[in-house]
Structure formats: structure tokens, C-alpha cells
Amino acid sequence: MGTQIALTILFLLAFLLLLAFIELVYKRLNLQGEYTRKLAHFSATLSTITFPYLFTDHWYVLALAVIFFVLLLGSRNTSRLRSIHDITRISSGSFLLPAAIYFAFLISHLMEDRFLFILPMLILAISDPIAGLLGMNITRYNHEIILFKHRMGKTWLGSMAFFTSAFIICLIAFYFNKGGFELQTVGLSVIIAIVTATAELLSPKGTDNLVIPMSIILVLILFA
């Protein structure tokens, strides 16, 4: 138990240092909040890949999730953490990320399957920022997606980038998890890429941070 508490404190300090570093980068380099926000999203989410190997109980992850949810929520309308909150669009993504991490960990812990946590975090950490960055920065031949006359706020290039990166991540993850390529895992990779790209497209105001990992877990439980 002592080791688990020490690991929790260590991760707490590491996440706080990460936020402080990103805030410093935001101020010194005068970057847009969209970029530093995605850097924080990538770094923090990717670092959680180690959770299933380090934490033996979900309560420690819950403690971290609650602390950072309160920290992010409390700083929303202040001058703190502008590197996270300085965006023009309305988004609850930063608040939902700690919840998504915890719920994914809880499910994988209860089902005793680390892969149920690792794959969703990989896709959430990598594919989501890639889609956002390409969608924002490449405008030539890149049009906003419109469904039934409704602007989705996402671009074709961004969604294609999400699908492609999610598919590649799945192939690599399944290879290491199963020790090789199988026709079933290739098909499952396609399904996950389609489901997550669709979830990213249809989820409004940052809710994709929760919908994406939950949809991956659902697909893995049903078809893996």
C-alpha cells in the first residue's frame, strides 16, 4: 500500500510539473491555446499507459482523476492554466479526460485485461491530437464536413487522419498483444478505426474524450 501511495504522489507531482512546463511554453513562445492544449492532452494521456502495470487498485487512479478534474474546473474562469483553457470554442474535453482515464482503467481492472485500457489511451493520446492539428493547419483542399446541412466542426482531412492513425495504432497494438498479425485483428482494427473516427466526428464540445475510449472498450468486449 505504501508503494501505491508513493506512486500516486509521484504521478501527481509529474502531472503538475507537466502542466507548469506547458504553461511556461505557452507564455514564453506565445503559442495558441489550441496547440498547448493538445500537447498537454498527448503527454498526459500517453503517460497513463503505465497505469495498469503500476497500480493494483482503481482507487489510486480515481484519486488522481478527481484531483485534476477539480484543478481544471477550478482554474477555468481564472488566469491560471491559460495554456489549457485559452480556446475560442466551447469544450468540456479537458474535464472529461480525467473521467475517461479513470473509467477505462476501472473497466480494464475489473475485467483483468490491461489491453482494454492501453489501446483506448493510445488512440486517444495520438489520433485525437493528430486529427485536430491537421484539421486546423491544412486548409487547402480540406473542407468542413457537413451532414444533413449541419456543420460538424470537423474537416475531411482531420477525420481521415484520425481513421488512418487509429487503424495503424490498432495493428501495432494487436501485433504486440497477440504476438502476430491475424485476419481477425486486421478486421477488428478497421472496425475500431471506423467507430472511433465516427465518434470523434459526431461527439460535440469535447465529449469525444469520453466517447472514444468507451467505444473502443465496447468493440473489444463484443468482438475481440
DSSP string over 139-185: -TT--EEEETTEEEEEEHHHHHHHHHHHHHHHHHHHHHHHTS--HHH
Q: Cβ atoms within 10 A of the Cβ of 105, count?
A: 26
C-beta separation of 36 from 25 below 8 A? yes
pLDDT reading at 58 higher than 90: yes
> What mean pLDDT comes out for the span 24-35?
86
Model's pTM, two decimal places?
Answer: 0.91
pLDDT reading at 77 higher than 80: no
**Sign of the CA dihedral 124, 130, 136, 139?**
negative
- d(C-alpha 54, C-alpha 90), whole Å: 35
> What residues have CB less than 8 Å from 93, skipping those under 6 apart?
41, 205, 206, 207, 208, 209
Q: What is the pLDDT of residues 141-156, one digit of tens each?
A: 666 666 666 666 677 7
